[in-house]
Amino acid sequence: MNSTIRTSVSPVTAPVRLDEPAELGHPVRAEVDVAPEEPVFAGHYPGFPVFPGVCVLDLVHRTAVRAGPPGRGVRLNGVRSVKFGAAVYPGDHLTIELRWTEPTGREEPWSVSASVHRAELAVANMRLSYREE
């Protein structure tokens, strides 16, 4: 892992370790360790901490922006679909794999398909759309 993503607007303090961005159409892989000290665990849920699904979405978004289409700045345009399959707990190690798809027409957004896993469990699958800035 060669690059680290950290942002001050995210509710998640854990850095995302990103492989060097792949060529367009090839998968991008990132990893994150969800520390028990993450601030979001304090309220979600006391006595039974579970990493919020919106924070998983945030990790995918942070990865997508960092590994976006070469030479283009992008901003989130929409969440097309999200399916959660397993919970994330303090101390879990997550692997994020995403793939960018180029727009088919001038007015179409860029698309990201992503999967998130912990160990052998599928945590989430999602599709996001982005517009060029």
CB atoms near residue 32 (< 10 Å): 23
Determine which one of 44, 61, 93, 117 is catalytic.
Answer: 44
Which pairs with CB-CB distance under 8 Å and at least 24 residues apart come from 117-121?
A: 118/86, 118/88, 118/92, 118/93, 118/94, 119/93, 121/85, 121/86
Tokens 């088919």 correspond to 104
26 burial (CB, 10 Å; 0-12 / 13-18 / 19+) is exposed
Is 26 labeled as catalytic in the residue annotation?
no
**Which residues does the annotation mark as catalytic?**
44
